[in-house]
Amino acid sequence: MNNKKEKKKMGRRMRFRRTLSFLLAATMLFTPIQSGKTIIAAENKTLADYEEIVGSYSVDKSIPRYTIYKEGFNNVKPPDEYTIEANDYVYYTEGELDSNKKEIAAIPEELNDYEGMDGTSVIISETGFIEYEVDIKNAGFYDIALTYYPIEGKNSEIQRSFFIDGELPYDELALIEFSRVWSNNITETYLNEDGIPTKKWEKDNQGNDLKPTLYETPEWITSYLYDSNGFVINQLSVYFTEGVHKISMLSLREPMLLRRITLNNTTEVVDYKTKKAEWDGMNAKDTSGILVRVEAESVTKTSSQMLYPKQDQSSPAVYPSSTKELLNNTIGGNSWRLVGQWMEWDFEVPESGYYKIGFYAKQNFVRGIYVSRKITIDGNVLFNELSDYGFQYQSNWRFDTLMDENNDAYKIYLEAGNHTLRMQNVLGEFSSIIGEVQESLSKLNSIYRKIIRITGVKPDIYSDYQIEAKLPELEAELIDVHNQLDFAIKHLREVAGGSSDKEAVLVTMRDQLEDLIKDQEYFKKIVTSYKINVRAVGTWLSGAVSQPLQLDAIYIYSPDVDANISRSSFWSKLWYEICRLFYSFVIDYNQIGNVSERGKESHTITLWVGTGRDQANVIKSLIDETFTKRTGINVNVMLVDMGTLLQATLAGQGPDVAIQLNISNPTYNSAIQSSNDMPMNYGLRNAVADLSQFSDLKEVRERFFDSALVPFTYDNHTFALPETQTFPMMFYRKDILKELGLTLPQTWDDVKVIMSVLAKNQMEFGMLPNELNFLMLLNQYGGQYYNEDATKSALDSDEGINAFKEYCSLYTEYKLDKVTSVEDRFRTGECPIIIADYSVYNNFQVSAPDIKGLWGFAPVPGMRKEDGTINRNVASVGSACVIMESSKYKEDSWEFLKWWTSAEIQTLYGKEMESLMGASARVATANKEAFESLPWPSADYNALKKQFQSVVGTRQVPGGYFTWRNIDNAFYKVTTNTDSASARECLMDNIIYINDEINYKRKEFHMPLSND
């Protein structure tokens, strides 16, 4: 909230509401409230029931898609309008239960006349469920609009599910997104030497423009319900019969301040010809000699943090341009690719009349199809052609005037004065194509699972599997999906204006289906290529829904004006590239942002970043905006390969601070050792500083879970602070578990039962043999790597041996795959349950549209203890930040580490990375408070939080790199010699090597040896 006093009031109201909620549970079902309204418990269903519907709708065949839903009713759209005031709810809860496990009704917080909106508004929390009633007089389809205010949350899109009379009418209502509003912090503008209004961007001391900071500028918004996938372009409608109906809204992510719900029918948008005739009837005339230029990077508002000015040096015609400095001169590109994202620009025209609108744009991202934008002026789509305007592929920047299919420019009537132009990303005509391919993909995956249940994933080509006899419905299913793909291909050709490389994947899949329709037994020969083709269709789908467009400038100009783009000739481009080549030899591109010289008056520390330029730019921006301003300490940021850290330190060329140290892929066998032992090993060699020398270390340690600090602490010395922390979670396919009638396993005994069911269906439980997974079992058995004084291995204990036996048995007795990627097999359905690092969540969200809505994740299975509880302990892995012992500015470096690992900066960094690269770049921060601020959906956040409570740190010791290496050697000896190798004997033999290496290293560092 903007007003601090209002926040305090809200806090007091929240506490009052919680108290009153518990009192309500102890009273009757119907309880009068001060306002006179009655809280009525949701009939038959609880919040948990609605959450179950949202979690399983994608596998519930009784819930149709929107297009099929509409076909079931007459297309009647009454002119009536119904307004439901937010405070007229009949039921509200946040899912809290009383002592009898019954749901407690709650009272949402109400705000009066908030931010210029008259009347009473209701705050619906991130976990809230609210229900309203409406009495419909005339049956028909109604559009539903919400008037809401995006109050402070976690800065992500607001997500809700909608139910009518306790049911989900169609798939698309399971996830509706409501946008927030963002602006950048640069408001000062000036007329430059060319007379063009330009924002006064902040610059670093190298002359480069700095990326502006985006901040939320909330405002009251009225929005209809739209398909979050973009497959349906227009607003979603619901058919209401006459009588009283309940409209229920379930929160999935972020709180919302609701003012009202409106049911009505908007007038249909006419085509250009009709609209032009209407304007002509108003005696509208062409304007003359007017050209208004709006720099696209000077955007007024956006719907996403991802939409901020970019620096483009690809053409001298992009304005402003420089061959030396990086200037903010464009906006959009790959960050403007997601359906629903919009940007707004304000402009002013001096007189009323007809204008043309043009864009200096680049669409070299998607070949073979065009990208679409819905263009509105002052909140309205003026004519139908602007509801889906296409920008064709072209490799270079070009000037596009809004025009019809005959290349005649649209003349748009504008009144004199201020206007707002909005461009919103839509799928346009491709929406139906993509929807068909999405549905086809689900069917193709289903067919694949049916086939491998009979043949397995590696069938014998000489065997007769009698596929046609065992699957009599298969031929009809193949014909159905073949026809669906064929329709999509033909429609794609119509939209794209002919054949294109975009259709190649679909054609290959369709042609293979033709062969299979002729002979289903042919599956045994091509099941692998079938799987590859299905994956290719999934990849095609990921690319097709991406609609990037980059803009340099917007022109609003009179029909008699030639909007000429200067500096676009061949010779201009040639000279521009020559100058760029020259500066590439002069400029040090390893230096990021402001570069400071070390002097007596101001301290300057050197920071090494080992990830990528995008991350380094964000870090440098945060440093300049906050750290240097607050402390006066300058920081030079260097983008380097962290593999050279030790060598550079020994040569006296190392940094003062290194962050993001050793981020590795936790699916590799060496996950723990490669990521977590470097600070300890460097510390013992006096290469990194002992942070225990700083008096406030204890206070700083409170920022993290104890498990995150364990690997970086040795013998009361702390050699690093954690930055990220990840751990295994259990991912599961909802659709397949429902098909097989399975529930999620809670213990490893449950897993073994499920393995037998999966095996009968030619499927597997997926878990690769790596250190994280072994440590999970070791911790659950109560074992540990080393004895208490860390002088020898503790794997020879009963707990260690039993954990190793269990670990090996999963691959010998239950035949788990040891090599193939579990993520790939999870997508195909071969492994409907996998154990994987939780960061895989981001990959699935972004790169697996073929299984969207079909999967979830939960805490890992565990060991049931004597008291009935389940031990779900897991190990974690993460990156670290260190201060080099050679640094002359340790106090300044410590100030930097405290700043960098603080909740404020980790939250800002996480949001900046997500705004820059999307959800796939979500930072797995180790800071407890910052973790809570990440925009996880509430159900997923609760699963992560539950598993976080069982994360156990893994100690590092001198010579510890030998531990996993020898466990792994013992494991492969057991799993490759299943007839002769004993798990106990193989492990005990390798423990000798582990202890020998520990003793060797302890001697090297003059440490006492084990007494044994």
Q: For residue 935, what pLDDT band results from cuts at 50, 70 and 90?
A: confident
Q: How far apart are CA 144 and CA 788, in angstroms?
A: 63
774 vs 501: CA distance, rounded Å: 46
Question: Which residue is associated with the tokens 């309880």?
Answer: 31
DSSP 11-76: HHHHHHHHHHHHHHHTS-SSEE-TTS-EE-PPSS--HHHHHHHHHHGGG-TTS--HHHHHHTS---
Nearest to 789 by CA among 527, 533, 1008: 1008
> 149 by DSSP, 3-state: which?
strand
Nearest-10 crossing angle of helices 903-917, 613-622:
140
Please tell me the predicted confidence (pLDDT) of residue 865: 92
Close Cβ partners of 562 (under 8 Å, ≥ 6 residues apart): none
Q: Which amino acid is at 231?
A: F
Q: Is 44 a residue whose pLDDT tops 80?
A: no
Helix axes 890-900, 903-917, angle to 10 degrees: 60
CA dihedral of 202, 207, 209, 211, whole degrees rounded to 10: -80
CA pseudo-torsion sign 597, 598, 601, 602: positive
74-78, 221-225, 316-320: the lowest-pLDDT one: 316-320
Mean of per-residue pLDDT scores for the chain: 88
Under DSSP, the state recorded for 411 is P
Indicate the DSSP class of residue 318.
S
Query: Containing H/E element for 778?
Result: helix 771-780
Q: Specify the amino acid at residue 76.
A: V
Whether 254 and 158 have beta carbons less than 8 Å apart is answered as yes
CA distances from 690 to 156, 318, 574, 686, 918 (A): 39, 50, 55, 9, 36
- Sign for the pseudo-dihedral over CA of 594, 595, 600, 606: positive
| Position 670 confidence tier, pLDDT thresholds 50, 70, 90 | very low
- pLDDT tens string 470-506: 999 999 999 999 999 999 999 988 887 777 777 889 9
User: Which carries the bigger pLDDT value, residue 191 or residue 403?
Assistant: 403
Which amino acid is located at 408 in the chain?
D
Q: Is the peptide bond before 320 cis (omega within 30 degrees of 0)?
A: yes
Strand order in the sheet with 371-377: 214-216, 182-184, 301-302, 342-349, 417-426, 371-377, 389-391
CA dist., res. 75 & res. 95, Å (int): 37
Q: What is the pLDDT of residues 204-216, one digit of tens each?
A: 777 888 888 888 9
Q: Radius of gyration of the chain from Cα atoms?
A: 31
Q: How many Å separate Cα 481 from the centre of its chain?
A: 30
pLDDT tier, 267 (very low <50, low <70, confident <90, very high otherwise): confident
Helices 983-1004/961-976 angle, 10° precision: 160
Q: How many Å separate Cα 39 from the centre of its chain? A: 37
By the 8 A CB rule, do 538 and 445 touch?
Answer: no
- The one-letter amino acid code at 927 reads N
Cross-strand pairs, 17: none
Is pLDDT above 90 for 281?
yes
- Topology given in CATH for the domain delimited by 591-725+878-935: D-Maltodextrin-Binding Protein; domain 2 (3.40.190)
Q: What CATH number labels 728-872+955-1005?
A: 3.40.190.10
Nearest partner of 623 among 325, 895, 886, judged by Cα: 895
Q: What is the structure's pLDDT at 814? A: 92
Chain centroid, CA 314 distance in Å: 29
DSSP symbol at 643: G
CATH of domain 272-427+547-574: 2.60.120.260
Q: Of 126, 138, 78, 128, nearest to 108 (Cα)? A: 128
Indicate the fold that domain 47-181+218-264 takes in CATH. Jelly Rolls (2.60.120)
Pairing, β 634-639 against β 604-609: parallel
For the chain, domain boundaries:
47-181+218-264, 272-427+547-574, 431-545, 591-725+878-935, 728-872+955-1005
Task: Decide the pairing of beta strands 833-837 and 634-639.
Answer: unpaired
Q: How many CA atoms lie within 13 A of 925 on its CB side?
A: 27
CA atoms of 1007 and 1003, how far apart (whole Å) = 6
- The pLDDT score that the predictor gives to residue 589 is 61
Tokens of 433: 């194509």
Distance separating alpha carbons of residues 352 and 454, to the nearest angstrom: 71
Model confidence at 42: pLDDT above 80? no
Predicted confidence (pLDDT) at residue 750 exceeds the cutoff of 70 = yes
- pLDDT: which is higher, 292 or 593: 292
Q: Is-contact 148 221, C-beta < 8 A?
A: yes
CA nearest 382: which of 224, 235, 270, 232?
Answer: 270
728-733 and 855-858: which strand pairing? Answer: antiparallel
Give pLDDT tens digits for 445-456. Answer: 889 989 988 998
The pLDDT score that the predictor gives to residue 366 is: 79
pTM of the model: 0.82
**CB < 8 Å & 24+ apart, contacts of 869-872:** 870/746, 870/747, 871/779, 871/780, 871/782, 871/950, 872/780, 872/947, 872/950
Angle subtended at Cα 815 by Cα 812 and Cα 817, rounded to the nearest 5 degrees: 115
Distance CA 327, CA 208 (A): 6
Distance separating alpha carbons of residues 1006 and 1012, to the nearest angstrom? 18
Residue 721 has pLDDT above 70, yes or no: yes
Does this chain's domain 272-427+547-574 share its CATH topology with 728-872+955-1005?
no
* Phi/psi at 96 (5° precision): -75, 145
Evaluate if residue 46 carries a pLDDT over 80: yes
CA distance 507 to 769: 38
Give the Cα separation of 760 and 551 in Å (integer).
55
Q: According to the model, what pLDDT value does residue 597 have?
A: 57
pLDDT tens for each residue of 357-400: 999 999 988 777 789 999 999 999 999 999 999 998 888 899 99
Q: Which of 901, 999, 929, 908 is nearest to 958 (CA)?
A: 999
Residues 912, 616 contacting (CB under 8 angstroms): no
> Residue 885's pLDDT band (boundaries 50, 70, 90)?
very high
Give me the pLDDT at residue 590, please: 58
DSSP string, 296-312: GGG-SEES-TT--EEE-
Cα 563-564-569 angle, rounded to 5 deg = 160
Averaged over 1006-1010, what is the pLDDT? 87
Element (H, E) at 730: strand 728-733
Q: How far apart are CA 750 and CA 495, in angstroms?
A: 51
295 has a pLDDT exceeding 50: yes
Residue 689 in this model has a pLDDT that exceeds 90: yes
> 811-816 long-range CB contacts below 8 Å, 24 or more apart?
811/769, 811/971, 811/975, 812/974, 812/975, 812/978, 814/752, 814/755, 814/765, 815/759, 815/764, 816/764, 816/765, 816/766, 816/767
Q: Which residue has the tokens 């929005």?
A: 223
The residues, any chain, with a CB within 8 Å of residue 607's CB and separated by 6 or more, are: 619, 623, 635, 636, 637, 638, 655, 656, 657, 658, 659, 896
